[in-house]
Structure 1
Amino acid sequence: MANLIVRNIDEAIVKALKKRASQHGVSAEAEHRKILEQALLQPQRKSFAEVLRQIPNVGNDSDFERVQDDTASQIFN
């Protein structure tokens, strides 16, 4: 495994990292590794709008028009 040294980090970021680490019951270093892994290696979730944009265009709106089916009314009359 490689080592990573990050210099010149704002004190507010360091405090937030330490607070988050304590909430998870781990060291700041372990929390830092976890954050890097999540940000860089895990697939990003797509928004609903992004998923909708990926649906292929498959026909015209008229292809999906509702057709009135009178079969049910004939059965119950």
Structure 2
Amino acid sequence: MPSEQPAWVLSRRQAIGTRVRVAREHANLTQLRLGEIVGVDHRTIHRIEYGTSDPRLGLLIRIARALDVPLSDLVR
């Protein structure tokens, strides 16, 4: 798999990250606390929010549950 992603993939990851951040802030959680809840380091949450990582579906499901939002709201 090439390390370079098409621009549209990066754009979608950034949009998902923005929705994660907005939902996290709405839930009054820090990146640190959200990471603790879902079992990852806060730097992982940061990378997701800024679109620099490619999170697995299982992690996105745990994040959605922790934020009490449907997964579809994060990845639409």
Tell me the TM-score normalised to structure 2 length: 0.28
Question: Which one has more relative contact order, counting CA pairs under 8 Å at least 6 apart?
Answer: 2
Which is richer in helix?
A: 2
**Bigger Rg, which one:** 1
